[in-house]
Chains A and B, each alone.
Chain A
Amino acid sequence: MYQSLLTRRYLTSKIMPLLAILAVMLCSALVLTTWSIMGGFLVMLLKIGREMEGDVSISWPTVGFAHYERLIEKLESDPLIDAACPVIETFGVIVLPDDRQFGVKIKGIDERFARVAAYEQSIWWKPISEPLPKDRAREDVRLDPEWWSRRARMMASDGRIDAAEIAQYRPWEQMLADGLNLRERDPMTGAVVPAVVLGIELSGFSERLPNGTYAPADIAGRRVSEGGFTLKSGFIPNGSVTLTVLPMGPSGRAVGAVSARLPVANEFRTGLFEADKNTVLIRLEELQRMLNMDEAERLVEAPPPADPYATEVDPDGRERAPQRAASGIEPARVTTVLVKGAPGTDPEAVRARCLEAYAAFARELAGRVPSADQMHRTIQTWERQQATFIGAVKREIAMVLFLLLFISFVAVFLILAIFWSMVSEKTKDIGVLRSIGAGRLGVAWLWLRYGVVIGVAGGVLGSALAHAVVWNINPIHEWLGRALGLVIWDPSVYYFPEIPHEVIPWKAGVVLLGGVAFSVLGALIPAVKAARMDPVRALRFE
Chain B
Amino acid sequence: MTRTAPTTPASPAPATNGAPGAPAAPLLSARSLYKTYRLGRVDVPVLRGVDLDVRRGEWVAVLGASGSGKSTLLHLLGGLDRPDRPAPPSAARAESGRPAGRIAFDGRDLAELSARELDRYRSESVGFVFQFYHLLPELRVLENVTIAAMVRYGRFGFARRRAEVEDHAKALLGSFGLSHRLGHRPAELSGGERQRVAIARALMNDPPVLLADEPTGNLDHATGEAILDEIARTRYAAGLTMVMVTHDREIAARADRVVRLTDGRVA
Contacts and interface: CB of A to CB of B under 8 A. Distances in A.
6 contacts: A2-B150, A9-B138, A10-B138, A432-B134, A432-B136, A439-B119
B265 interface: no
Interface of A: 1-2, 4-6, 9-10, 13, 428-429, 431-440, 442, 534-536, 539
Contacts of A13: 138
Interface string B230-253: 000000000000000000000000
Given A5-B143, A429-B136, A436-B128, A536 B81 contact: yes
B123 interface: yes
Given A435-B122, A437-B148, A539-B130, A1 B158 contact: yes
A437 B143 contact: no
B155 A536 contact: no
> Can you list the 10 inter-chain pairs with the closest CB atoms, starting with the nearest?
A437-B123, A9-B138, A2-B150, A1-B150, A439-B119, A1-B155, A437-B122, A1-B158, A432-B134, A436-B148
B78 interface: yes
B94 interface: no
Of the listed residues A433, A437, A539, the one surrounded by the most CB atoms of chain B closer than 10 A to its CB is A437
Given A13-B138, A535-B80, A535-B81, A436 B151 contact: yes
A10 B150 CA distance: 17
B254 interface: no
Given A437-B152, A439-B119, A5 B134 contact: no
A421 to B, nearest CB: 16
A9 B144 CA distance: 12
B145 to A, nearest CB: 10
A13 B136 CA distance: 12
B147 interface: yes
Interface in B62-94: 72, 75, 78, 80-81
Interface in B111-160: 115-116, 119-124, 128, 130, 134-136, 138-139, 143, 147-148, 150-155, 158-159
Contacts, number: 72
A446 to B, nearest CB: 11
A428 B137 CA distance: 11
Main secondary structure on chain A at its contact with chain B? helix
The main secondary structure of chain B at its interface with chain A is helix
B31 interface: no
A10 B138 CA distance: 7
A1 B149 CA distance: 10
B115 A434 contact: no
A406 to B, nearest CB: 36
A534 B123 CA distance: 17
A437 B80 contact: no
From B115, B130, B150, name the one whose CB has the most chain A CB atoms within 10 angstroms.
Answer: B150
A429 B130 CA distance: 13
B260 interface: no
B48 interface: no
Nearest to B201: A436
B129 to A, nearest CB: 10
Contacts of B124: 437
A435 B78 contact: yes
A435 B159 contact: no
A438 B138 contact: no
A6 B136 contact: yes
B80 A434 contact: yes
Nearest to A435: B128
Contacts of A2: 147, 150-151
B113 to A, nearest CB: 12
A379 to B, nearest CB: 62
A327 B78 CA distance: 114
Contacts of B139: 5-6, 9
B169 to A, nearest CB: 13
A438 B134 contact: no
